[in-house]
Structure 1
Amino acid sequence: MEPFKIVAVSAGLSQPSSTRLLADRLVEATRHLLEERSPRPVDVRVVELRELAVDIAHNLVTGFPGPALRSAVEAVTGADGVIAVTPVFSASYSGLFKSFFDVIDNTELVAKPVLIGATGGTARHSLALEHALRPLFAYLCSHVVRTAVFAASEDWGAGDTQSDSLNVRVTRAGRELAALVLQQPDGAGSGDAVVPFEEQLAKLRISQ
């Protein structure tokens, strides 16, 4: 049975990185929901952009990706669902994050289910998700889930990675991405038919 392919792109620069930590939590939430609803296995890959920074710069000036960058691009374009997480600098995504998606042909992510996330020192940066990341993937014609997840320093607490508020948002976003992946032409694994909203509304009116 072909596994679901979930690829997370983390643009964190430090190690350890709160950006990578958020990416990992979003991955696990998505994996859990997919495994709960489908018998298909889930294959996960995390792309660390800091390890590809030199390759990305070379590709931008030469037009030719190295083997590691080519592998990362193929993983993202071949994924059933993508999780894209960046730190926020100057009220927007990082230059490394943007440069990586500039490397990808702008037709390769059409209709691709995407979950966006970001990290920053304060919740004031959370608007970057809506005025920077969401428009980027809208331009690429990706299918971005409704819930975007921002994690500020206070969300982690004093070493606490299980903030209730953050956990609720991560779980909701993972559920939404899993639902989109399952709705793909080859993604149905639960055996449950997707009932159109209009049909659900009609049934509700009849029952009232």
Structure 2
Amino acid sequence: MKRSVTVVSAGLRLPSSTRMLADRLADATRRDLERQGAQIDVDVVEVRDHAHDLVSHLTTGYPSDGLRRASETVAKADGLIAVTPTFTASYSGLFKMFFDSLDDTALVGKPVLIAATGGTGRHSLVLEHALRPMFAYLRAVVVPTAVFAATQEWGGGDSQEPLARRIERAADELAGEVRRRESPEIRDPYCDPVPFEQLLEGR
């Protein structure tokens, strides 16, 4: 069976610790699903690449082709990994703008793994106080383990072991949710148009 996982990374710099964490979560999820015999496609949406298009879309209501493709990639995915840097004790504005731009039903019933990066472990509450409530509002299925990576956890050695364990546990939970669900069916709004005669009649 072929399944797909989409990664939304809202890092701003290159290289980005947010993207590094996103890639590790995606690799762990891929390994877990492949061990179960699934074929996996992993797509990455770098939110920074759509920054100008997001502002235009939210002010005009018309998405660019690139932003529309990114939104469709998220909607069609069997599972989602969403990773943001921590700004002022919350997710980044760019991260929020991307999810504000999605269709209201794009994440309904979709398994989501939430993660964040920040300067110190004190920022880890962003996961439970900001990200989890937002995705609950969007009616996504957020896996129990959320992953926060502080700057010192990228230093290697013993400091990376707790992070590695959290990544593996969260990836296993996401893979389990993806395995037990059917792939989402995306309805084409143009596949069943209202006949012109009915439109003229006001029905």
Bucket of the pairwise TM-score, normalised by the shorter protein: 0.7 to 0.9
Matched with 2:170 is: 173
| Corresponding letter in the other structure for 1:13 | L
Matched with 1:63 is: 61
Instruction: Output the TM-score relative to the length of structure 1.
Output: 0.85
| Corresponding letter in the other structure for 1:163 | Q
Counting only pairs closer than 5 Å after superposition, residues 1-208 of structure 1 correspond to structure 2 as 1=1, 3-38=2-37, 40-157=38-155, 163-185=160-182
Equivalent pair of 2:77/2:183 in contact (CA under 8 Å): no
Query: What secondary structure does 2:81 align onto?
Result: strand
Cα distance in 2 for partners of 1:174, 1:41 equals 16
RMSD: 1.6
Q: Are the structure 2 counterparts of residues 162 and 68 from structure 1 closer, same or farther at C-alpha, using a change threshold of 3 Å?
A: farther
Equivalent pair of 2:3/2:183 in contact (CA under 8 Å): no
Query: What secondary structure does 1:163 align onto?
Result: helix
Query: What secondary structure does 2:145 align onto?
Result: coil
After the TM superposition, which segments of 4 or more aligned residues of structure 1 sit over 6 Å from their partners? none
Equivalent pair of 2:152/2:159 in contact (CA under 8 Å): no
Cα distance in 2 for partners of 1:59, 1:99 equals 10
What is the total number of aligned residue pairs between the two structures? 184
Q: Are the structure 2 counterparts of residues 161 and 180 from structure 1 closer, same or farther at C-alpha, using a change threshold of 3 Å?
A: farther
Q: Are the structure 2 counterparts of residues 82 and 162 from structure 1 closer, same or farther at C-alpha, using a change threshold of 3 Å?
A: farther
Q: Are the structure 2 counterparts of residues 70 and 131 from structure 1 closer, same or farther at C-alpha, using a change threshold of 3 Å?
A: same
| Corresponding letter in the other structure for 2:63 | P
Query: What secondary structure does 2:139 align onto?
Result: coil
Query: What secondary structure does 2:82 align onto?
Result: strand
Query: What secondary structure does 2:72 align onto?
Result: helix
Cα distance in 2 for partners of 1:96, 1:133 equals 14
**CA-to-aligned-CA distance 1:176-198 (integer Å, 9 cap, x gap):** 000000010359xxxxxxxxxxx
Cα distance in 2 for partners of 1:18, 1:138 equals 25
Equivalent pair of 2:5/2:41 in contact (CA under 8 Å): yes
| Corresponding letter in the other structure for 1:26 | L
| Corresponding letter in the other structure for 2:173 | E
Instruction: Output the TM-score relative to the length of structure 2.
Output: 0.87
Cα distance in 2 for partners of 1:16, 1:10 equals 12
Cα distance in 2 for partners of 1:127, 1:16 equals 24
Cα distance in 1 for partners of 2:183, 2:43 equals 20
For structure 2, list consecutive stretches of 5 or more residues without a partner in the other structure.
185-203
